[in-house]
Structure formats: structure tokens, C-alpha cells
């Protein structure tokens, strides 16, 4: 069964810069499509008033954290599939791919139930005001109920990414996003009388659009997976041990899940601290975060693409090629991060007026960008470094890094500086955390690759 594996491990030969471009560009399109949902959400929810916009600002870090746990599962599947293909073991890759899809769906059921049960405790702990809780519940109840669909998409995308099928992964994301683009304005604010006079569901309409979009994404992923070397075939799981694939995915996926969730957990804590500065600060901070998520899309796309490239070459013993990919990716993070920071700072207030005409919200939006934007390059190095470490089965390193970034740097800086600096201290804490992420990534990745022989393994 080696021939199919060798033909599927397409990233172990050819130009590394070419692979980075061919894998990253579709990922950028897919990530941009997903991130655009947040921009569309913020725009139409903003039309409902400042209270719904503040409510979605509380919801945003929780949604990111829950999705990040799912991303960890996807990363685990991506890692084990890519390395198995690189090793030339097609049967192992197929078993782990199919087990990963089932595993992801099961995780989604558990996580959705937990979210539904813990709505009030979570947002009470975040200092959400009582008058916003009905809005938060209206969104979170349908969101939690449909969350298993989100994890099913993660499972399918993990299998697609591990094979280097970046275009198919991007197509799944575009299908999900397109459903949201169409449904968000209808379900949130309704339609004019000439189109039926539907009133819309307010903030809950955003959640309904999200869940329907997930359903569309699952259908598209099922269809696209059929045309790959590793189609859905649950029969492969009948007569084999499930312990080995479970261990392999969990060994990467569990640390990766917590690593991905810790960063938005830190964001949730920062949001709770910003809440002490007033509703305008929360709205400005949340809206700026939505825009920030969009402009760093190339970094997010690269962090998703790097895993298959490094993983397949690592599994094949081509450490030289994996190292080359790391160097090119790191250089891009620095250049893009600095360029974007300059543009965002220069146009901060203009961007803010897209989301709100409240002067206090605009001021907080611009202040956040002036401080935090200088950390974009560091954040890029952090997330790309996480992708690299997960790909080579060093997810524990990435988890330790994320824990230190949030609990040793971000939160202490925010708590110490806030009494004298107000919201600026919280934005400075995010900057400090991203600079720490950059330095620690360079140290950890150099250490991991320094332990490997520089000469490529014979094929």
C-alpha cells in the first residue's frame, strides 16, 4: 500500500516556496471567508444598537475559545495523517483519517452540551452586565445546540489538510461563509416590506445563520472528501484497534486544543477587565478585535498551511525541507505583521466609524490599534510556531508556551498596569504577550530542529 501513500505525500518533493504559496493562498481565502462572517456579524448587530454590539463582544472570545478547542482536534488529525503519508504508510493514514472524523464529531457533542449548560456561569464570570444576559442567552442557546456540526467540519478539514488539499479545505470554508453572508442580514435585521416584511430575530439571528452555515459546510466537506486519496470509509474502523489512532490524535490534539483555547481564554479575561472601564470600552475593544482578526488572515492561513508541509517532510525524514519551510514562514510573519501594523494605526479612526458613530467607542477602537497592532508580527510567529510544533508531535511545547504567554505575561501586565493606565494597560498587556510569543517561538523551534540531523534522510 506504499504507492498510494507516496503519491498522496505530494509535499515531500518540489519547491518549498511553491508549496507554501500553493497551500497558503487557498487557506488565506478560506480563513478570510470565515473571518468576514465576524465583520458582517458586527456590522448588522451594530445596527441593532450598542447593547447588542456589547453583548456580541462578550460572546466573541467564548466562541473563539470553543472553536479553538475544535481547531486543536483538527490539528491533531492533520498532524497524524500528514506524518503517516510522509512515512509511506497509507493504511495507517486511512485509519487515522476516518477515526479522526468520528472522534471530532463526538467531541462536538460533548462540547456543545457543556456550552449550553454553562452559559450563565461563563458570562457571569466575565462580568457581563445583567441587562446583557438575555441577549447573550438568545445567541448562545442555538449556537451551542449546533456546535457538533462545527466539529464535524474540523474533522473533515483535518483529513483534507493532512493530504495537502488546501483548495478543498478552502472550498468548505467558503461554502460555510457564503451561507452566513446571505442569511445574516435576513435573520438579524429582517427584510423590507417589499420582500415580505420579515422582522428578523435580532442577535439570535446571527446564531441561526451560523448553525445553518455549519450544516452547509458539512455537506460540502462530505462531497469533496470523496475525490481524495482518503475518502470517508468507516468500514476501516471495524476490524482494527482504535487505541493507537486515538492515542496519536489525542497526543497532538489535546495539547493543541488547550493551546488554541488558552489564547482566547486570555482574551476573555482581558474583556472582563475592559468591562470595568465601561460599555464603550468593551464595544471598541470587541469591534477592533473583529477587524484585527480579518487583517491577520494571511498569518492565520500560513499557520494552517505550514502543518502539512512540515509534517509530511518530517515524516519522510526530509528535515532540511522542513527547516526551509520554517525559515520562509517566519520571514513572512515579520514583514506582513509590520506592514499591517502601520496601515491599521494610520487609519484607526476611519475603520472605527464603520462599526459605530459613538465618539467614545471610536476613541477606544483607535487607542487599541495604536498599541496592540505592533504585536501582529509576534502573533504571527506565535501561531505559525504552534503549527510547526504540532506538526512534528511537539504539541506539549506549544501548550507550555501558550500557558506562559497568557498567565505569566499577559494577565500580570494587565493587572499591574490597569489601576494607573486604564484600558491602555490592557492593550499593552496584549502587545507584551505577543512579543513574548515571538521570542519564545524562535527559541523553541530552534531547539526542536537543532536536535535533528541536518542531512536529509535517504529515500
pTM of the predicted model, to two decimals? Answer: 0.76
CA 69 to each of CA 171, 208, 260, 385, 387: distance values in angstroms, whole numbers, following the listed order: 22, 21, 6, 18, 14
Tens of pLDDT, residue by residue over 75-127, are: 889 888 888 888 888 888 888 899 899 999 999 999 999 999 999 999 998 88
Which residues have C-beta within 8 Å of that of residue 22, sequence separation ≥ 6? Answer: 166
What are 60's three cell numbers?
Answer: 466573541
What are 422's three cell numbers?
Answer: 486604564
Tens of pLDDT, residue by residue over 320-373, are: 899 999 999 999 999 999 999 998 888 877 777 777 777 777 888 888 888 988
Which residues have C-beta within 8 Å of that of residue 323, sequence separation ≥ 6? Answer: 449, 454
Identify which of 453, 446, 457 has the alpha carbon closest to the alpha carbon of residue 388: 446
Give the model's pLDDT for residue 458: 41
Q: By three-state DSSP, how is residue 165 classified?
A: coil
- The residue assigned the cell 512579543 is 435
Give the model's pLDDT for residue 456: 43
Instruction: Examine the pLDDT at 61 and tell me if it is beyond 60.
Output: yes
Within a 10 A sphere around the Cβ of 338, how many other Cβ atoms?
A: 14
CA distance 179 to 191: 17
Instruction: Examine the pLDDT at 50 and tell me if it is beyond 60.
Output: yes
Instruction: Examine the pLDDT at 254 and tell me if it is beyond 60.
Output: yes
Q: Are 355 and 322 in contact (CB under 8 A)?
A: no
Tens of pLDDT, residue by residue over 360-374, are: 778 888 888 889 889
Average pLDDT, the chain: 86
The stretches of 356-458 forming alpha helices (DSSP H) are: 359-372, 376-391, 395-404, 411-421, 423-450
CA 324 to each of CA 58, 308, 330, 442: distance values in angstroms, whole numbers, following the listed order: 40, 14, 10, 14
Give the model's pLDDT for residue 459: 40
Amino acid at each position: 500500500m506504499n504507492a498510494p501513500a507516496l503519491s498522496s505525500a505530494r509535499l515531500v518533493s518540489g519547491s518549498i516556496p511553491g508549496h507554501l504559496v500553493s497551500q497558503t493562498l487557498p487557506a488565506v481565502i478560506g480563513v478570510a471567508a470565515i473571518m468576514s462572517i465576524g465583520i458582517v456579524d458586527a456590522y448588522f448587530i451594530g445596527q441593532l444598537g450598542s447593547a447588542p454590539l456589547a453583548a456580541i463582544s462578550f460572546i466573541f472570545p467564548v466562541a473563539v475559545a470553543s472553536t479553538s478547542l475544535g481547531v486543536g482536534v483538527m490539528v491533531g488529525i492533520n498532524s497524524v495523517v500528514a506524518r503517516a503519508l510522509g512515512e509511506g504508510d497509507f493504511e495507517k493514514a486511512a485509519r487515522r483519517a476516518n477515526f479522526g472524523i468520528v472522534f471530532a464529531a463526538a467531541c462536538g457533542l460533548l462540547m456543545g452540551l457543556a456550552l449550553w449548560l454553562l452559559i450563565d456561569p461563563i458570562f457571569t464570570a466575565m462580568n457581563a452586565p445583567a441587562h446583557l444576559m438575555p441577549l447573550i442567552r438568545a445567541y448562545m442557546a442555538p449556537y451551542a445546540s449546533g456546535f457538533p456540526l462545527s466539529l464535524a467540519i474540523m474533522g473533515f478539514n483535518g483529513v483534507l489538510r493532512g493530504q495537502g488539499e488546501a483548495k478543498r479545505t478552502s472550498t468548505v470554508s467558503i461554502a460555510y461563509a457564503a451561507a452566513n453572508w446571505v442569511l445574516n442580514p435576513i435573520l438579524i435585521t429582517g427584510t423590507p416590506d417589499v420582500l415580505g416584511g420579515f422582522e428578523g430575530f435580532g442577535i439570535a439571528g446571527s446564531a441561526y445563520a451560523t448553525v445553518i452555515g455549519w450544516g452547509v459546510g458539512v455537506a460540502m466537506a462530505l462531497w469533496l472528501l470523496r475525490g481524495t486519496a482518503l475518502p470517508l470509509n468507516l468500514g476501516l474502523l471495524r476490524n482494527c484497534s482504535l487505541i493507537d489512532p486515538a492515542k496519536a490524535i489525542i497526543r497532538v490534539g489535546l495539547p493543541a486544543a488547550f493551546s488554541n483555547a488558552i489564547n482566547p481564554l486570555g482574551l476573555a479575561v482581558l474583556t472582563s477587565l475592559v468591562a470595568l472601564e465601561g460599555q464603550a470600552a468593551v464595544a471598541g475593544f470587541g469591534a477592533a478585535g473583529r477587524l484585527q482578526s480579518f487583517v491577520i488572515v494571511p498569518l492565520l492561513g500560513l499557520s494552517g498551511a505550514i502543518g502539512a508541509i512540515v509534517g509530511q517532510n518530517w515524516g519522510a525524514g526530509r528535515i532540511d525541507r522542513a527547516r526551509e519551510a520554517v525559515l520562509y514562514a517566519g520571514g513572512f510573519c515579520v514583514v506582513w505583521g509590520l506592514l499591517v501594523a502601520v496601515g491599521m494605526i494610520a487609519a484607526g479612526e476611519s475603520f472605527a466609524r464603520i462599526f459605530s458613530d459613538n465618539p467614545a467607542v471610536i476613541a477606544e477602537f483607535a487607542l487599541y490599534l495604536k498599541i496592540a497592532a505592533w504585536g501582529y508580527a509576534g502573533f504571527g510567529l506565535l501561531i505559525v510556531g504552534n503549527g510547526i510544533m504540532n506538526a512534528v508531535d511537539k504539541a506539549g511545547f506549544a501548550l507550555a508556551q501558550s500557558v506562559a504567554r497568557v498567565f505569566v505575561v499577559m494577565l500580570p501586565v494587565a493587572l499591574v498596569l490597569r489601576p494607573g493606565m486604564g484600558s491602555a494597560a490592557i492593550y499593552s498587556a496584549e502587545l507584551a504577550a505577543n512579543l513574548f510569543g515571538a521570542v519564545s517561538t524562535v527559541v523553541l523551534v530552534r531547539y526542536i530542529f537543532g536536535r535533528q540531523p541536518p542531512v536529509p534522510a535517504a529515500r
